[in-house]
């Protein structure tokens, strides 16, 4: 497939980025994606539910990924977790990381610091206004994520199909599409909308290298089109698998229950239970709508290779 | 632009269909779309007063469209409405060749249309609904995503994830709807495996559409975040944010029942907003893509521009 501006900026072969799924985007997955020509991304708390230990974890994950690939990979920094503390960022700087993805907070906070250290910044947005703000803050690329995506979700509910062209029209920096992409068709569609690359989370969960629990991967592979649901509307919106936990939350929302009854207590424990513990019945199992298209667990490299091969065939047929 | 099975099925030049919007999909709009090589669609209640006879209105609309164009156009039939049997008789008598059906079980009427030699396109919003429609003998499915305006599926599948999953599940052609307003959306839909597109919101902001000028202006002025879903638990509907939607949203939040909601809002609010131009009191069905619509143009120009730009967009993907 053709090279895009995202390939040139990041020094990668294909504009396919692996999303930084909290708890489960570890070194093995990131390295496999990067080795296949995409961009792997490490989550600070991969395999480490205790946030007070993420510093050591980031260092360990980066070193491990470096031992598996010499190609570029990124680290994700959720801004609402790190706030204005740069100690975690400094670990990535010391380890020679050249690309970061950021989200869930102001891009103005750390972007200049990253740039001082020669690090490219990809920032996650879900509206035109946020994309314009991120561009002003100096980020190199925006990742525009639609309503179909798994995990924490924007209250504005713009889908990938409508969000991408509007963001592309509003900013000059390259736009990466995220949400609802799981194969070569989604890649070609995203580029047709004007994106210069894609980011995928759910598809990369169901890979052999991902450290997600086998039962969680299995539930993604077995998911049908209607297997996910949004919970926490008006609080913290989240898309995950429809299960005992989320069914109950939806019921409460529909019957007009007060906010305190709908907020998820012990949110991180419930995520840990599903993603690392495999409790997909009572846990909070982040998952995008595209799970219905994910039909087998394969290696992350194979995901990238199939997408690229399909892309060329699809584009020829348009 | 390449020909697809949808072109052959409907006898049209370009696989671009204008959605049958209630009250405002009038003969002049449908004829203009068909004259430009797409497929126009008339709504039986286009332009009529609530107390008028819908059969007579439908007959009048069909005859007016035939005066303007000799090309095929369609009728949109909401299968759930009580007058359905009489409307079907009118279609057959007036020789309408294509119907789009929605909001009801395709088992009830498809065979009657097929016996009369009428082509049936059925609107679906999940894989299961598409499979049922195919079993019932419809000729093509219109897969409509969460971003679409007006009445919306309960499952909230976006066009990006819905279209490829339906393409994989049925053999009949799939037409993508929801979130499409320009050549980028058309090319993306084709990349996802669709063989045509249906657009509603884009065709409201046209010279020929009989929607009130103030409603058209609201669409043109709408930002990316200008619409919202109301009635999530009862009958999810997407419209422009205004006093009406805020009022329904407040009732939703309290867990209102269908009867309470209906008693409060009464009938005819969509006509009030869209046709009479009471843009705060009335309901304004509108898709998320309204943020990308910036002008009121002749309907034919929309098709002409998409066709002109298509080859360039596709060439850019290779």
Q: What per-residue confidence (pLDDT) applies to B317?
A: 97
Distance (Å, whole) CA A80 – CA A189 = 31
Provide, as residue numbers in chain A, all residues whose Cβ is less than 8 Å from the Cβ of B250: none
Q: Same domain, yes or no, for B167 and B203?
A: yes
Whether B158 shows a pLDDT value over 80: the answer reads yes
Q: Same domain, yes or no, for B27 and B164?
A: yes
Whether B88 shows a pLDDT value over 90: the answer reads no
**Mean pLDDT of the region B178-207:** 98
Q: Same domain, yes or no, for A299 and A157?
A: yes
Distance (Å, whole) CA B131 – CA B129 = 5
Determine, for residues B188 and A293 on separate chains, whether the beta-carbon distance falls below 8 Å: no
A118 vs A7, A55, A108, CA distance in Å? 17, 21, 16
CA angle (B46 as vertex; B252, B39 as ends), nearest 5: 100
Determine, for residues B233 and A254 on separate chains, whether the beta-carbon distance falls below 8 Å: yes
3-state secondary structure of A11: coil
**Mean pLDDT of the region A268-276:** 95
Distance (Å, whole) CA B136 – CA B108 = 9
Sign of the dihedral through C-alpha B176, B182, B186, B191:
negative
Tell me if the pTM is above 0.95: yes
Q: Same domain, yes or no, for A31 and A176?
A: yes
> Which is nearest to A143 in space by CA: A171, A108, A116?
A171
| DSSP characters over A165-193 | HHHHHH-SS-EEEESS--SHHHHHHHHHT
Q: Same domain, yes or no, for B115 and B237?
A: no
Determine, for residues B160 and A226 on separate chains, whether the beta-carbon distance falls below 8 Å: no
Q: Same domain, yes or no, for B283 and B135?
A: no
**How many structural domains compose chain B?**
2
pLDDT greater at residue A70 or residue B264: A70
Whether B218 shows a pLDDT value over 80: the answer reads yes
Q: Same domain, yes or no, for B88 and B233?
A: no
Per-residue pLDDT band for B57 (boundaries 50, 70, 90) equals: very high
Per-residue pLDDT band for A263 (boundaries 50, 70, 90) equals: confident
Buried-exposed string B282-294: b where 16+ CB fall within 10 A, e elsewhere: bbbbbbbbbbbbe
| Of A146, A158, A315, Cβ closest to residue B317 | A315
Task: Name B260's Cβ contacts closer than 8 Å, sequence gap at least 6.
Answer: B251
Name the phi and psi angles at A46, rounded to 5.
-55, 120
Determine, for residues B158 and A316 on separate chains, whether the beta-carbon distance falls below 8 Å: no
Determine, for residues A180 and B161 on separate chains, whether the beta-carbon distance falls below 8 Å: yes
Q: Same domain, yes or no, for A299 and A158?
A: yes
Q: pLDDT of A125-151, one tens digit each?
A: 999 999 999 999 999 999 999 999 999
Domain containing B81 — which CATH number?
A: 3.20.20.70
Q: Same domain, yes or no, for B27 and B48?
A: yes
> Which is nearest to A63 in space by CA: A98, A19, A96?
A96
What region, left, alpha or beta, does residue A17 occupy, with left being phi > 0 and alpha being psi -120 to 50 degrees?
A: beta
Q: Which domain holds residue A11?
A: 5-211+295-317
Q: Same domain, yes or no, for B222 and B75?
A: no
Whether B235 shows a pLDDT value over 90: the answer reads no
Judge whether B196 is closer than 8 Å to chain A, CB to CB.
no
Q: Same domain, yes or no, for B10 and B70?
A: yes
B164/chain A closest Cα distance in angstroms:
8
Whether B108 shows a pLDDT value over 90: the answer reads no
3-state secondary structure of A41: strand
Q: Same domain, yes or no, for A166 and A245?
A: no
Name the phi and psi angles at B61, rounded to 5.
-65, -45
Q: Which domain holds residue B26?
A: 5-210+294-317
Determine, for residues B164 and A293 on separate chains, whether the beta-carbon distance falls below 8 Å: yes
Q: Same domain, yes or no, for A137 and A232?
A: no
Determine, for residues A254 and B127 on separate chains, whether the beta-carbon distance falls below 8 Å: no
Poorest-pLDDT segment among A40-44, A62-66, B23-27, B257-261: B257-261
Put simply, the chain B residues between 108 and 147 with a CB less than 8 A from any chain A CB are 126-128, 145-147
Q: Which helix (H) or strand (E) holds A302?
A: helix A300-317
Provide, as residue numbers in chain A, all residues whose Cβ is less than 8 Å from the Cβ of B199: none
Domain containing A115 — which CATH number?
A: 3.20.20.70
Whether B80 shows a pLDDT value over 80: the answer reads no
**Mean pLDDT of the region B128-134:** 96
Q: pLDDT of A139-187, one tens digit each?
A: 999 999 999 999 999 999 999 999 999 999 999 999 999 999 999 999 9
Q: Same domain, yes or no, for A99 and A65?
A: yes
Residues constituting chain B = 318
Q: Same domain, yes or no, for A113 and A222?
A: no
Q: What per-residue confidence (pLDDT) applies to B83?
A: 78
Q: What is the DSSP letter of B177?
A: E
**Mean pLDDT of the region B231-237:** 88
B258/chain A closest Cα distance in angstroms:
12
Q: Same domain, yes or no, for A70 and A150?
A: yes
Q: What per-residue confidence (pLDDT) applies to A86?
A: 93
Q: Same domain, yes or no, for B49 and B79?
A: yes
A123/chain B closest Cα distance in angstroms:
19
| DSSP characters over B189-233 | HHHTT-SEEEESHHHHSBSS--S-HHHHHHHHH--TT-EEEE-TT
Q: What per-residue confidence (pLDDT) applies to B84?
A: 80
Helices (H), chain B: 5-10, 27-35, 54-68, 84-94, 110-115, 127-135, 159-169, 183-191, 201-204, 213-221, 243-253, 258-265, 269-274, 299-317
Distance (Å, whole) CA B261 – CA B197 = 33
Q: What per-residue confidence (pLDDT) applies to B267?
A: 76
Whether B253 shows a pLDDT value over 90: the answer reads no
Buried-exposed string A159-182: b where 16+ CB fall within 10 A, e elsewhere: bbbbbbbbbbebbebbbbbbbbbb
Q: What per-residue confidence (pLDDT) applies to B53?
A: 93
Whether B79 shows a pLDDT value over 80: the answer reads no
Whether B167 shows a pLDDT value over 80: the answer reads yes
Put simply, the chain B residues between 155 and 194 with a CB less than 8 A from any chain A CB are 155-162, 164-165, 168, 178-180, 182, 184-185, 187-193
Q: Same domain, yes or no, for B22 and B53?
A: yes
Q: Same domain, yes or no, for A173 and A309?
A: yes
Q: What per-residue confidence (pLDDT) applies to A259?
A: 85
Q: Same domain, yes or no, for A221 and A84?
A: no
Q: Same domain, yes or no, for A148 and A10?
A: yes
Per-residue pLDDT band for A198 (boundaries 50, 70, 90) equals: very high
Percentage with pLDDT > 70 across chain A: 100
**How many structural domains compose chain A?**
2
Q: What per-residue confidence (pLDDT) applies to B274?
A: 96
Q: What is the crossing angle of helices B27-35 and B54-68, to 10°?
A: 30
Strand partners, B40: B73
Provide, as residue numbers in chain B, all residues whose Cβ is less than 8 Å from the Cβ of A226: 126-128, 155, 157
| DSSP characters over B289-315 | GGGG----B-HHHHHHHHHHHHHHHHH
Whether B23 contacts B29, CB under 8 Å: no
Q: Same domain, yes or no, for A117 and A193?
A: yes
Q: Same domain, yes or no, for B156 and B277?
A: no
> Which is nearest to A49 in space by CA: A271, A207, A287, A278?
A271
Q: Same domain, yes or no, for B187 and B279?
A: no
Query: Which tokens sit at A305?
Result: 């290779």
CA angle (B213 as vertex; B212, B219 as ends), nearest 5: 100
């Amino acid at each position: 497939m053709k090279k895009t501006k995202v390939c040139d900026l990041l020094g990668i072969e294909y504009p396919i980025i692996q999303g930084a799924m909290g708890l489960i985007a570890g070194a093995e997955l990131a390295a496999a994606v990067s080795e296949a020509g995409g961009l792997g991304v490490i989550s600070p708390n991969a395999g480490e539910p205790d946030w007070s230990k993420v510093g050591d974890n980031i260092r360990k994950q980066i070193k491990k990924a470096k031992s598996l690939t010499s190609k570029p990979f990124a680290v994700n920094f959720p801004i609402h977790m790190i706030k204005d503390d740069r100690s975690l960022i400094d670990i990535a700087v010391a380890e020679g990381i050249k690309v970061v993805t950021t989200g869930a907070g102001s891009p103005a906070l750390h972007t200049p610091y990253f740039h001082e250290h020669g690090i490219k910044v990809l920032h996650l947005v879900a509206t035109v206004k946020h994309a314009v703000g991120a561009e002003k803050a100096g980020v190199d690329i925006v990742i525009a994520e639609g309503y179909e995506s798994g995990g924490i979700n924007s209250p504005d509910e713009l889908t990938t199909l409508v969000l991408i062209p509007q963001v592309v029209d509003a900013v000059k920096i390259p736009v990466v599409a995220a949400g609802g992409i799981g194969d070569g068709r989604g890649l070609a569609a995203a580029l047709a909308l004007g994106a210069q690359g894609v980011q995928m989370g759910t598809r990369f969960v169901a890979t052999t290298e991902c450290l997600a629990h086998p039962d969680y991967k299995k539930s993604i592979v077995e998911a049908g089109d209607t297997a996910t649901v949004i919970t926490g509307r008006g609080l913290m919106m989240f898309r995950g698998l429809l299960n005992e936990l989320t069914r109950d939350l939806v019921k409460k929302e529909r019957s007009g229950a007060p906010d305190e009854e709908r907020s998820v207590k012990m949110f991180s424990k419930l995520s840990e239970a599903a993603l690392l513990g495999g409790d997909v019945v009572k846990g909070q199992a982040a998952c995008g709508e595209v799970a219905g298209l994910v039909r087998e667990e394969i290696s992350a490299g194979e995901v990238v290779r199939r997408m690229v091969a399909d892309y060329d065939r699809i584009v020829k047929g348009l | 632009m390449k020909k697809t099975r949808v072109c052959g099925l409907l006898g049209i030049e370009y696989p671009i269909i204008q959605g049958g919007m209630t009250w405002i999909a009038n003969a002049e709009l449908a004829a203009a779309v068909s004259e430009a090589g797409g497929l126009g669609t008339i709504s039986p209640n286009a332009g009529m007063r609530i107390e008028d006879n819908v059969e007579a209105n439908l007959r009048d609309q069909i005859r007016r469209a035939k005066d303007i164009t000799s090309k095929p156009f369609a009728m949109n039939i909401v299968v759930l409405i009580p007058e359905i049997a009489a409307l079907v008789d009118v279609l057959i008598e007036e020789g309408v060749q294509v119907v789009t059906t929605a909001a009801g079980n395709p088992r009830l009427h498809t065979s009657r249309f097929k016996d009369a030699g009428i082509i049936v396109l059925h609107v679906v919003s999940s894989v299961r609904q598409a499979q049922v429609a195919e079993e019932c003998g419809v000729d093509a499915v219109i897969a409509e995503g969460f971003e679409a305006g007006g009445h919306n599926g309960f499952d909230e599948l976006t066009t990006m994830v819905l279209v490829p999953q339906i393409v994989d599940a049925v053999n009949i052609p799939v037409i993508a709807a929801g979130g499409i307003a320009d050549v980028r959306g058309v090319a993306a839909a084709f990349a996802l495996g669709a063989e045509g597109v249906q657009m509603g919101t884009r065709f409201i902001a046209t010279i020929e559409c009989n929607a009130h000028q103030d409603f058209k202006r609201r669409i043109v002025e709408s930002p990316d975040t200008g619409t919202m879903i109301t009635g999530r638990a009862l009958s999810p509907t997407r419209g422009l944010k205004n006093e009406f939607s805020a009022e329904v949203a407040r009732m939703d939040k309290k867990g209102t029942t269908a009867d309470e909601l209906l008693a409060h809002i009464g009938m005819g609010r969509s006509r009030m907003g869209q046709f009479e131009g009471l843009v705060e009191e009335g309901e304004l069905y509108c898709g998320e893509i309204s943020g990308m619509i910036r002008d009121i143009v002749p309907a034919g120009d929309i098709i002409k521009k998409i066709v002109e730009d298509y080859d360039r967009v596709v060439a850019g993907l290779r």
